[in-house]
Chains A and B, each alone.
Chain A
Amino acid sequence: MLPKLYFGYFSIVMVVISLLIITRKNPVHSILWMLALFFHIAGLYLFLNAEFLAAVQLILYAGAILVLFLFVIMMLNLKEEVLDDRFSGDWPIAVFVGGTILVLILIALIALTQGPLGSYTIQAIQAETHAKVLGRVLYTEYLFPFEIASLILLIAVVGAMVLAKKRRTEED
């Protein structure tokens, strides 16, 4: 009973926060609601025995990505943006498309049957700590994708600098 109550609280709050995120007029409010959502997602990860991912969620998403968003909003002038109409004209079509996606996923979910269980039981992970198990799989089985991820981050760093750099004009 208690796990279901815990999950119920988290799911209801997360859905409400998500709706708030996409309907707020001011992007700063959206980002602050996003922060609350990330804390709830981290709580859900703890509930699923993924404590390393909960820490990563808070440090990386709440600590780095949201701060990046806030910095960019700080650089942009939002005064007249806030006054404008916030939704695009054909929002009923978008809501219909979204509802169709949701219904399709929920229908497909009826056919869900669980696959065979793996060898990483909770006891096995607890005996060796979660971060250690995750690191061992990441650096042995997934070493090549890990290297590609580092390449993606390098491209992101270079690309962000190239895009946001001041263009040299003709007169200088």
Chain B
Amino acid sequence: MVPLNWYIELSAIIFTIGAVGFLIRRNIMIMLISIELMLNSVNISLVAFSHYLQDIRGQVLVLFIITVAASEAAIGLAIVVAMFKNKAVLHTDEIMEMKG
């Protein structure tokens, strides 16, 4: 039997990789992919808890997270398309409308 801790550690490592990827990359597509990576790592830990605590609610929560991830990807990609049409850039360093 694989201990529950291993799943949580795997989930934490993948979450960290996603967070670092979101912070270090300049390409907005890869930033969106990193967000998906973080959501998936949370799903892994939820399914693992659901299996080890013998409770189905964690898996219901995973279904909701997948729903939110789908809508987030749709909205995010629409923003990328609108931004590319206006400015023709994909790099976050070159987007300075808000003087950030």
Contact = CB atoms under 8 A, between A and B. Distances in A.
A127 interface: no
A58 B44 CA distance: 14
A61 B26 CA distance: 24
Interface residues of B, number: 70
Given A114-B53, A163-B81, A87 B75 contact: no
Contacts of A4: 2
Q: Is the interface of A mostly helix, strand, loop or mixed?
A: helix
Q: Quick one: which of B33, B43, B50 has the most chain A CB within 10 A?
A: B33
A119 to B, nearest CB: 7
A27 B30 contact: yes
A158 B81 CA distance: 15
A137 B57 contact: yes
Contacts of A45: 47
Interface in B81-95: 81-82, 84, 88, 90-93
B59 A53 contact: yes
Interface of B: 1-2, 4-6, 8-10, 12-21, 23-27, 29-30, 32-34, 36-37, 40, 43-44, 47-48, 50-57, 59-60, 62-64, 66-75, 77-82, 84, 88, 90-93
